[in-house]
Chain A
Amino acid sequence: MKKRKLLLTCAGLLITSFALSSCGDDSELPLDYVDNGEEYKLTYYMVYNDSQIPSDMSTVERRASAILKEKINSTIEIIPYTYAEYTQKMNGIIATAAKFDVCFTAPEVNPYGYNIKKEAFLPLDHLLPTYAPKTWESINSNIWNQIKVNGHIYGSINEQIFPRTLGMRAKSPTNIQDFLNENYDGIKPSEIYAHIEDPYDFVEEYLRWLKLNNRGNGGAISEIHTESYLMNYAGYDDLCSGITVPGVINISDTTHTVVNQFETQEYKDMIDLVYKWKNLGYLKVSSNYDITPDSTWKPGYLSNQMMRLSDPHYFTTYVCGSMNAISSTSKNPARAMKFIELLRTDEELHNLLQFGKENTHYLKDPEQPDRIAEFISGSGYNNENFGWGLGTEFISYLTPGQDDDQWEQVKKINDETELTDLIGFRFDDTNVYTEVSNCRNVVNTYIEAFAKGEFDESNKSSTYQKFIEDLKNNGMERILKEKQEQVDAYFANK
């Protein structure tokens, strides 16, 4: 008995000591850093967006070190992780407080808010304007405000397309072309939005046409994408908390009233539409869909398949979709900031990390200096799909199939779309943390099934009632109230 007690005490002591050692000290982090100018080795954890990690990282690393040595007296160690594994890997690295300088962060990947709570990232309020002036100036100050947590900026936003536009991707370019020729005098898929009344009526028309003409799979669609419907189409901004957390504000609402998105007329209409399409035979389980519901249309992206169905709008969630952060374990944060600035301004460095080395990993178009003609397969490096995480997309070389003025089109949309006055507000869930995670679980158990029409139609309304009731039982009202209070306080201070 005595022995057992001793044992339990030992175990208890061990556990507490581990728990204590994982707590950091609470001292304020300094905001001001100076670069001593000595040679420094940067460590950068990069996302490598391909099926395997690159087999030829060393060539790229050597060349990047040579560029950085010349420009900022640094060398670099780049450690690539695949997109699917990145979050978990960084989780471990941050937990061990291993020394590193720069990493990628986003709301869901290597989560921004979560890591700030763990004090893993440095505040960049002073570093950004001092060591990365071009990055600082290129982005609207309201968008910088959007990523502020507790009054500090913890990430450097990567430039890409910020506003979102409702889009639908048709699987077959020939079908969509024939359809547009027949019914819309052959306008381009990217110009449809100007000629239609309601996007979803248009989609239905296309599905009907497919079925009537026996094209494709007879007008098959898997679901209506809830996030895309509520945000891009209905215009509800989720206040940077994710669409699965109740409480949104319509971007056209000047009184800034927080409502539960799942009780809006639009959401009820969406469910009705799902069942209407299900009864008409469009919405079904198949492995071959004619249309995939999409959250975003972008210029130059699958231009013969993507139908643009709305005007672009800014949403709080989407402007902070891709960032670089500096680790609180960095020995030289100023140098790390300079590296981030170079990613955004140095064409050679940026494209090196994205496409590899010229003639080793890709061949350039002889006629166009900023276009890639061909990727050399099996060369061991191609991070083509991660341009949006490397500082900016706007200095990336054009890949085969992209428009010559690809980036000008994107910039134009960024600049010409009007910022909503919600941009800059960020919901802080500290006070209602439990309610938020409970409601998120409730929502996740229902919305997918509603979007696919999986409930029997006779149970549809009773299931919907139960869904709303479950939300209410899990503290939905408290979340709405908390959101409304924060929004009111934000606009009162503005």
Chain B
Amino acid sequence: MIKKRIKGNYNGQKAIVIALLCFYMALVIVPFVILVCGSFSSSDAIKDVGARPWIQGFTIEAYQLVFENPYQILKSYGITILVTVVGTVLNVALCSMTAYALARPNFKFKRILSFFYAFTIMFQAGFIPTYIWYRNYLNIYNTIWVLILSPCFVVGHVVMLRAFYSAVPKSLYEAVKIDGGSEFRMFLTIATPLILPGIATVAFYTVLIYWNDPFTAMLYTDDIVPISLYLTRLQQYIALLREAAAGKMGGINPGDVSIPENTLVFAMAMVTSAPIMFIFVFFQKFFLGGLTAGSIKE
């Protein structure tokens, strides 16, 4: 259909727009091609000439280093996937329910709750109080729960979803009420399906949050290692070795280990972002819908 429209209204202006868009697309895609090719290139070649959008001296040494410990990598992927799936479902459920409540004009505690949520955006407790809270009171330190619960409520998502819920026509709510439907039924079967694009957008953001979060695991667990933390540690250690090689740390002997440090970052980026790309394809159709939602005001 899109093709037809372009063909039908073809003129010079459109051509310029299309050319510009193609140029922009190239700007976005070329770095990605560099990333893929860089991860398969040899580290020395990259050092001498820099990363290029083609493969220089094909090698998989960077991947070998990343996948040095296959059992650990599989375990880490398992943890990440579990946390992401459970966490996303929980996050979307909590955020949409909150947003729905805040969007309803007859909700009594709307103002006070909004104040609390806004407060947490501006003021955060910081590391130590959070640590004490998780470890001594909630007892979720070093369990899978800390990874799921820590980022499971995002005020930004609530704000976004509230706007979506507010856009649902008020007359719909009234109709349900007259037919005797409960508030929960209204939320679940009427309002939420109407704002599915919004839900999908939030869900996708949430997936990203859970997927790319090494810090929760780093701070609040001892031996649960999601894939993001695994790679962060690898990177930290290489930075340490580089410092040691520069002689800034007397204690550490970097030895003669050759590390493909220039290509390793590429391989690491590939390992983390490849699964996300598949997820994006899945979410994409909702995004197109989401873009037009809210474009018409009553």
CB atoms of A53 and B223 under 8 A apart: yes
Q: Is B107 an interface residue (CB 8 A)?
A: no
CB atoms of B69 and A55 under 8 A apart: yes
Residues from 70 to 128 in A contacting B, C-beta threshold 8 Å: 79, 81-85, 88-89, 91-92, 95-96, 98
CB atoms of B251 and A53 under 8 A apart: no
Nearest chain B residue, comparing its CB with the CB of A287: B47
Please list the 7 inter-chain residue pairs (A to B) with the smallest Cβ-Cβ separation, ordered nearest first: A294-B247, A51-B237, A84-B236, A92-B131, A296-B250, A95-B128, A292-B246
Q: Is A433 an interface residue (CB 8 A)?
A: no
The interface residues of chain B lying within 8 Å CB-to-CB of A82 are 233, 236-237
> Contacts A52-B69, A52-B233, A96-B135 given: A295-B247 contact, CB under 8 Å?
yes
Q: Is B172 an interface residue (CB 8 A)?
A: no
Contact digits for A43-86, partner B, Cβ 8 Å, 1 yes 0 no: 00000011111010000000000000000000000010111110
Bound complex: CA A296 to CA B252 (Å) = 11
Shortest CB distance A433–B (Å): 20
CB atoms of A51 and B128 under 8 A apart: no
CB atoms of A91 and B135 under 8 A apart: no
Q: Is B106 an interface residue (CB 8 A)?
A: no
**Can you identify 24 A-B contacts, CB atoms within 8 angstroms?**
A51-B237, A52-B72, A82-B233, A82-B236, A84-B239, A84-B240, A88-B127, A89-B219, A92-B127, A92-B131, A96-B136, A169-B245, A225-B247, A225-B248, A287-B47, A292-B246, A292-B247, A293-B247, A295-B248, A296-B250, A298-B250, A318-B250, A321-B250, A322-B251
Shortest CB distance A53–B (Å): 6
**B interface size (C-beta, 8 A):** 36
Q: Is A288 an interface residue (CB 8 A)?
A: yes
Shortest CB distance B9–A (Å): 52
Bound complex: CA A96 to CA B142 (Å) = 14
Bound complex: CA A91 to CA B245 (Å) = 28
Residues from 291 to 305 in A contacting B, C-beta threshold 8 Å: 292-296, 298, 301-302
Q: Is A3 an interface residue (CB 8 A)?
A: yes
Q: Is A160 an interface residue (CB 8 A)?
A: yes
CB atoms of B247 and A167 under 8 A apart: yes
Shortest CB distance A397–B (Å): 14
CB atoms of B131 and A95 under 8 A apart: yes
Nearest chain A residue, comparing its CB with the CB of B262: A287
Contact digits for B145-183, partner A, Cβ 8 Å, 1 yes 0 no: 000000000000000000000000000000000000000
A228-B247, A296-B250, A388-B251 are known; give 6 further A-B pairs, CB within 8 A.
A52-B69, A96-B132, A164-B250, A222-B246, A287-B47, A295-B248
Q: Is B238 an interface residue (CB 8 A)?
A: yes
CB atoms of A169 and B247 under 8 A apart: yes
Shortest CB distance A108–B (Å): 10
Contact digits for A15-33, partner B, Cβ 8 Å, 1 yes 0 no: 0001000000000000000
Instruction: Out of A91, A164, A287, name the residue touching B128 (CB < 8 Å).
Output: A91
The interface residues of chain A lying within 8 Å CB-to-CB of B132 are 95-96
Once A and B bind, how many residue pairs between them come within 8 Å at the CB atom?
98
The interface residues of chain B lying within 8 Å CB-to-CB of A321 are 250-251
Shortest CB distance B223–A (Å): 6
Bound complex: CA A199 to CA B47 (Å) = 30
Nearest chain B residue, comparing its CB with the CB of A378: B69
CB atoms of B262 and A292 under 8 A apart: no
The interface residues of chain A lying within 8 Å CB-to-CB of B250 are 161, 164, 295-296, 298, 318, 321
The interface residues of chain B lying within 8 Å CB-to-CB of A181 are none
Q: Is A385 an interface residue (CB 8 A)?
A: yes
Nearest chain B residue, comparing its CB with the CB of A228: B247
CB atoms of A88 and B240 under 8 A apart: no
Q: Is B298 an interface residue (CB 8 A)?
A: no
Q: Is B230 an interface residue (CB 8 A)?
A: yes
The interface residues of chain B lying within 8 Å CB-to-CB of A322 are 251
CB atoms of A296 and B131 under 8 A apart: no
The interface residues of chain A lying within 8 Å CB-to-CB of B209 are none
Shortest CB distance B132–A (Å): 5
CB atoms of A85 and B218 under 8 A apart: yes
Shortest CB distance B114–A (Å): 13
Q: Is B234 an interface residue (CB 8 A)?
A: yes
Bound complex: CA A161 to CA B250 (Å) = 10
Bound complex: CA A51 to CA B132 (Å) = 27
Bound complex: CA A222 to CA B242 (Å) = 13
Q: Is B13 an interface residue (CB 8 A)?
A: no
Shortest CB distance A27–B (Å): 23
The interface residues of chain A lying within 8 Å CB-to-CB of B247 are 167, 169, 225, 228, 292-296
Bound complex: CA A82 to CA B225 (Å) = 13
CB atoms of B129 and A385 under 8 A apart: no
Bound complex: CA A389 to CA B252 (Å) = 11
Bound complex: CA A389 to CA B250 (Å) = 12
Shortest CB distance B122–A (Å): 13
CB atoms of A160 and B219 under 8 A apart: no
Which residue among B68, B72, B251 has the maximum number of chain A CB atoms within 10 Å of its CB? B251
Shortest CB distance A87–B (Å): 12
CB atoms of A301 and B131 under 8 A apart: no
CB atoms of A55 and B47 under 8 A apart: no
CB atoms of B234 and A49 under 8 A apart: no
Nearest chain A residue, comparing its CB with the CB of B129: A18
Contact digits for B101-113, partner A, Cβ 8 Å, 1 yes 0 no: 0000000000010
Which residue among A51, A85, A318, A321 has the maximum number of chain B CB atoms within 10 Å of its CB? A51
Instruction: Out of A55, A84, A288, A298, name the residue touching B233 (CB < 8 Å).
Output: A84
Bound complex: CA A296 to CA B249 (Å) = 9
CB atoms of A84 and B219 under 8 A apart: no
Nearest chain B residue, comparing its CB with the CB of A227: B248
The interface residues of chain A lying within 8 Å CB-to-CB of B131 are 92, 95-96
> Contacts A52-B225, A92-B131 given: A288-B47 contact, CB under 8 Å?
yes
Which residue among A81, A167, A296, A389 has the maximum number of chain B CB atoms within 10 Å of its CB? A296
The interface residues of chain A lying within 8 Å CB-to-CB of B252 are 49, 385
CB atoms of B127 and A91 under 8 A apart: yes
Contact digits for A214-242, partner B, Cβ 8 Å, 1 yes 0 no: 00000000100100100000000000000
The interface residues of chain B lying within 8 Å CB-to-CB of A51 are 233-234, 236-238
Bound complex: CA A207 to CA B69 (Å) = 41
